[in-house]
Amino acid sequence: MSNASGSKERDRLRLVLIGAGWISGYHLAALDRLARTRLVGVASGHLETARATAEPRGAAACAYADLARMLDEQRPDVALVCVPPAAAIAVLERLVERGIPFLTEKPLAATDAAGPVRIAAAVAERGLVAAVGYHLRGIEALAEVRRLIAANPAHLFSARWLCATPPPAWWRREETGGGQVVEQATHFYDLARLLMGEASVVGAASTQESPFVPIGVDLVDATAAVLRFESGAIGSFANTRRLASDVIEVELAASDLLITIRKLREAQTSWEVIIDDGRSARTVPPGRDPYEVQAEAFLGAVEAGDSTRVLSTYSDALETDRLTRAVVAATGRSG
């Protein structure tokens, strides 16, 4: 390695990854492309998984089963948190104590509604840069969508997240994953807040077959909710985990304007936007990887010491967390 390249490597932010499940691959690929970080540690409850994730990036010797040891030995500049929701609060408490900026996956917690409130207060007290992985905020075409509805406000936000039950064991239990509204459909509740403003729950209902399908799952099968936005607009949300294929899309209806934001099947990162004014329908294909946009904003915020530069601050994500829990509570469950 030349002196110049070695210096550039040393100048990169020291990054640790906490939790090495499948979603971490999207984040790491985006960070690799940005080339602004150096992976110095991976912590996982399964050491072999940590090693398998660290090895391709030259950090095989820096795989850990002990989070505290990794943080003490590696002294990272930033942390990427991809643990199951039930484990998130304990991890973030350690990062906040050490003053380590972090980007954490959503949701903020599984069933612990009080934990995110404590973390948000601690983050604010320390002035820490803390971002939450609502990566749909990084869809390039959203800038145009926001311009269009600023000029012609939408009166309806309609969202459907219809899919099969994801395979991770933690996802399939409410106490570890939070349930589909809190863990998965939360992306659309967050997008609704971003595009339409704050909302309250008018009503919600869920259904649950007994015995549970598939075996080992204790989640409801489907949930539907109606929201009222402060603007007076309404929102309808439907989600189910019982399909063999996916229908994952949002529609915004304004006067003589329909905007559709749709997930394409081939990749987690591929979202197209269709703008239909009644005369023609224009499709905006997937642009830059939203995980990369999200990571770039986070790293820029860390380097500038400006927490407002991230796509979703922890305090803003807390409002989405409260909204999804209000939806669950409106179905008659604990929320």
pLDDT band at 120; cut points 50, 70, 90: very high
pLDDT band at 8 (very low <50, low <70, confident <90, very high): low
pLDDT band for position 38 (cuts 50, 70, 90):
very high
Q: Is the pLDDT of residue 287 over 60?
A: yes
In this predicted structure, which of 146-150, 196-200, 209-213 has the lowest mean pLDDT? 209-213
Tens digit of pLDDT for each residue in 291-307? 999 999 999 999 999 99
Fold of the domain built from segment(s) 136-287+320-330: Dihydrodipicolinate Reductase; domain 2 (3.30.360)
Domain 3-135+293-313 maps to which CATH number in 1.10.150.120, 3.40.50.620, 3.40.50.300, 3.40.50.720?
A: 3.40.50.720
Using the predicted structure, report yes or no on whether residue 1 has a pLDDT greater than 80: no
Instruction: Tell me the average pLDDT of the chain.
Output: 95
Tokens 């691959």, residue? 25
The model's confidence at residue 6, banded by pLDDT at 50, 70 and 90, is low
Report the percentage of the chain scoring pLDDT > 90: 91
pLDDT in tens, 55-77: 999 888 899 999 999 999 999 99
| Domain boundaries along the sequence of the chain | 3-135+293-313, 136-287+320-330
